[in-house]
């Protein structure tokens, strides 16, 4: 199901844990799909000096979190802001198509953690809960039916191939 | 190290008797059972023998009431669509439950697009249908009630006998999807009072791709497949004779050894449930404490996700199945578990541990030891475990 790189990051996840008194925290999650990620950052001179994650999710969600932390570690905030979910999937040498929707949230969590850090610097109170449920197709140009993997037009609400309703997904 | 197969709802090895019967059948080069020459009649005889074995296993009144199919899914599709098509003039209303297998749910969904109406009754928090709810769902338009015998995700057994009394009383055709029950627990179609019952050979160590539909004499139903006159005009197409012979052999062994299988599995299930608290904390058992199959347990391990557990157990050569949305391909939380009232997060951590006649005490012990480690590892990673479980009250 998963390739070797994904399985390696799943079996030996890098940078697991919590940073106490982190400078920035980002949480994303979609309890309907099941994956939730928290990214913790320690920022030193506009660089990611330390990054840790916690993830509730499937094999690909854990691998995505682990890979993201490896990519982001040591990067300047400007560089880190450019990291996308697609970059993470690419570094993992690909994920199953139907996992691109709900498991590939690592970069979203990172961006939220950076924003959380910048908000704190600017004196903006973070909202009570920072968890959001992004539903945009952040994985790139193509959209696939999460139930049968068939490529879809971006705005359909029904998969003709497997007869699944996609209203919840869009 | 050997693979510990605790995913026997997905795969059970063929019995030696089944292998022998199928190999013998291949070597005998049986002709087509529909042919009227001597070699054809020989084939028809072994087909009938298999039918008698299978009919005996579920106590059908006559072997003719068994229609061989290409598995449980076809049997269910045949039962539901065949009854709907044959009885549409009488009414277009069907009653099912919220926890049916997708073979039922998607069959009725298809019928809905053809003008049928469906009422789906809910289950209590222990996963059982209340027969009274079925009685109340029935209208003058109702032509079919389809409630599963046991649930494929939890193993919970439904009150089929009580529902059968209601449907008989109201003269409504009653189908039960017994795919996970036949060959696992004793099934008697007379006692259950069903008109149609679906089952599959691979549930009792027979070959996959072979199943049966019990059709009580006099039940109004159309074939799903039209063509020749095979299977007493109920299922066209040249019979899968080798597979059917395998199913017949499996039925024979199952009929004589079922009591031992049940006792063995029940002992393992009791052991698993008794020792689970020593291995892990904070879990939910979704399997009914009394009314359930002896061969499976559904466990929702809180704060972690099932696919991850399954993959890590696999690294320890232990095969289980998970009902996590991420692993099912549908990416949607199990409708069965949500119907039981589980939260999406708890449903995500659900493992189905299923065993069989060859499972040993050692297998259960190995599973529990491995599960203990896996749960610790994954909870260390999980943000939910920190947040929900560890925050001081």
Residues contacting B16, CB < 8 A, separation 6+:
none
Q: Which domains does chain B have, with CATH numbers?
A: 4-10+258-383 (3.90.1150.10), 16-254 (3.40.640.10)
- Quote the minimal CA–CA distance from B99 to chain A in Å: 18
Are A15 and A73 within 8 A, CB to CB?
yes
Nearest to B305 among A16, A18, A57 (CB): A57
Residue B319 has pLDDT above 90, yes or no: yes
- Strand pairing of B93-97 and B142-146? parallel
Is A159 in the active site?
A: no
Please give the backbone phi and psi of residue A80, each rounded to the nearest 5 degrees, phi first: -65, -35
- Quote the minimal CA–CA distance from B347 to chain A in Å: 9
- Starting at the earlier edge strand, list the strands of the sheet with A24-30: A24-30, A35-44, A47-56
Split at pLDDT 50, 70, 90, the class of A88 is very high
Residue A20 has pLDDT above 70, yes or no: yes
Least confident of A33-37, B58-62, B248-252, B275-279: A33-37
pLDDT in tens, B129-183: 999 999 999 999 999 999 999 999 999 999 999 999 999 999 999 999 999 999 9
More confident residue, B105 or A29: B105
Between CA A58 and CA A54 the distance in angstroms is 12
**Are B384 and A147 an interchain contact pair (Cβ–Cβ within 8 Å)?**
no
Nearest to A40 by CA among A97, A114, A103, A90: A114
Residue A57 has pLDDT above 80, yes or no: yes
Dihedral of alpha carbons B132, B136, B141, B146, sign: negative
**Are A32 and B333 an interchain contact pair (Cβ–Cβ within 8 Å)?**
yes
Residue A18 has pLDDT above 60, yes or no: yes
More confident residue, B262 or A125: B262
Least confident of A163-167, B1-5, B204-208, B347-351: A163-167
Helix (H), strand (E) at residue A6: helix A4-11
Enumerate chain B positions whose Cβ falls within 8 A of a Cβ in A: 106, 109, 303-305, 307-308, 311-312, 315, 324-327, 329-333, 343-345, 348, 380-384, 386
Q: Which domains does chain A have, with CATH numbers?
A: 4-136 (3.90.1010.10), 140-170 (no CATH)
Chain B environment of A105 (Cβ under 8 Å)? none
Are B323 and B352 within 8 A, CB to CB?
yes
- What pLDDT sits at residue A169? 44
Is A102 in the active site?
A: yes
Residue B105 has pLDDT above 60, yes or no: yes
∠ CA B374-B376-B381 to the nearest 5 degrees?
Answer: 95
Helix axes B16-28, B241-279, angle to 10 degrees: 160
Chain A environment of B333 (Cβ under 8 Å)? 32, 34
- What pLDDT sits at residue B188? 98
Name the active-site residue from B85, B88, B138, B326.
Answer: B326
More confident residue, A101 or A86: A86
Chain A environment of B330 (Cβ under 8 Å)? 146-147, 164
Between CA A26 and CA A68 the distance in angstroms is 13
As beta bridge partners, residue A35 has A30
Residues contacting B100, CB < 8 A, separation 6+:
B120, B146, B147, B148, B177
Name the active-site residue from A58, A102, A143, A145.
Answer: A102
Please give the backbone phi and psi of residue B271, each rounded to the nearest 5 degrees, phi first: -60, -45
Say what the ipTM of the complex is: 0.83
Nearest to A9 by CA among A57, A61, A87, A67: A67
Between CA B80 and CA B83 the distance in angstroms is 5
Residue A139 has pLDDT above 50, yes or no: no
- Quote the minimal CA–CA distance from A57 to chain B in Å: 5
**Are B308 and A101 an interchain contact pair (Cβ–Cβ within 8 Å)?**
no
pLDDT in tens, B334-345: 889 999 999 888
Nearest to A102 by CA among A89, A87, A112, A116: A89
- What pLDDT sits at residue A16? 96
Residues contacting A90, CB < 8 A, separation 6+:
none
pLDDT in tens, B58-104: 999 999 999 999 999 999 999 999 999 999 999 999 999 999 999 99
pLDDT in tens, A147-168: 555 666 666 666 666 656 665 4
Sequence length of chain A is 170
Q: Taking CA atoms, what residue in B is nearest to A99?
A: B326
Between CA B162 and CA B164 the distance in angstroms is 5
């Amino acid at each position: 199901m998963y390739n070797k790189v994904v399985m390696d990051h799943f079996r030996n996840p890098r940078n697991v844990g919590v940073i106490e008194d982190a400078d920035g925290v980002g949480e994303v999650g979609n309890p309907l799909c099941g994956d939730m990620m928290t990214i913790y950052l320690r920022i030193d001179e506009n660089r990611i000096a330390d990054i840790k994650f916690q993830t509730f999710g499937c094999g690909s969600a854990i691998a995505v979190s682990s890979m993201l932390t490896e990519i982001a570690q040591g990067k300047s905030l400007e560089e880190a802001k450019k990291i996308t979910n697609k970059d993470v999937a690419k570094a993992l040498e690909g994920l199953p198509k139907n996992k691109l929707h709900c498991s590939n949230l690592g970069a979203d969590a990172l961006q939220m953690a950076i924003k959380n850090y910048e908000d704190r610097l600017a004196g903006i109170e973070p909202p009570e809960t920072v968890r959001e449920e992004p539903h945009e197709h952040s994985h790139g140009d193509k959209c696939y039916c999460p139930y049968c993997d068939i490529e879809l037009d971006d705005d359909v609400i029904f998969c003709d191939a497997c007869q699944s309703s996609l209203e919840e997904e869009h | 190290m050997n693979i510990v197969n605790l995913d026997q709802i997905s795969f059970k090895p063929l019995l030696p008797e089944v292998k022998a019967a199928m190999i013998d059948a291949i070597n005998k080069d049986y002709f087509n059972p529909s042919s009227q020459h001597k070699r054809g009649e020989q084939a028809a005889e072994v087909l009938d023998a298999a039918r008698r074995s299978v009919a005996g296993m579920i106590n059908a009144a006559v072997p003719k009431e068994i229609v061989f199919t290409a598995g449980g899914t076809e049997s269910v599709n045949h039962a539901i669509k065949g009854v709907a098509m044959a009885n549409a003039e009488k009414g277009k209303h069907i009653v099912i439950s919220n926890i049916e297998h997708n073979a039922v749910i998607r069959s009725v969904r298809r019928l809905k697009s053809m003008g049928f109406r469906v009422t789906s009754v809910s289950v209590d928090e222990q996963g059982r249908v209340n027969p009274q709810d079925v009685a109340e769902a029935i209208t003058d338009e109702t032509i079919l009630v389809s409630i599963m015998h046991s649930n494929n995700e939890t193993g919970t057994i439904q009150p089929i006998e009580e529902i059968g009394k209601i449907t008989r009383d109201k003269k409504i055709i009653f189908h039960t999807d017994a795919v996970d029950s036949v060959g696992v627990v004793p099934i008697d179609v007379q006692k259950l009072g069903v008109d149609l019952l679906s089952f599959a050979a691979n549930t009792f160590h027979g070959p996959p791709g072979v199943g049966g539909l019990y059709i009580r004499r006099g039940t109004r139903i159309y074939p799903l497949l039209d063509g020749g006159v095979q299977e007493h005009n109920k299922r066209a197409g040249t019979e899968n004779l080798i597979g059917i012979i395998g199913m017949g052999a499996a039925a024979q062994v199952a009929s004589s050894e079922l009591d031992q299988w049940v006792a063995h599995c029940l002992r393992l299930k009791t052991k698993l449930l008794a020792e689970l608290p020593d291995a892990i904390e904070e879990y939910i058992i979704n399997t009914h404490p009394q009314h359930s199959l002896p061969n499976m347990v559904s466990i929702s391990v809180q704060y972690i996700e099932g696919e991850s557990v399954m993959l890590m157990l696999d690294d320890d050569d232990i095969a289980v199945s998970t009902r996590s949305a991420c692993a099912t391909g549908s990416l949607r939380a199990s409708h069965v578990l949500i119907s039981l009232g589980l939260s999406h997060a708890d449903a995500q951590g659900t493992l189905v541990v299923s065993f069989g006649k060859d499972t040993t005490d050692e297998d259960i012990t190995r599973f529990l030891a491995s599960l203990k480690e896996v749960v610790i590892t994954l909870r260390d990673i999980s943000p939910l475990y920190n947040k929900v479980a560890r925050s001081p009250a």
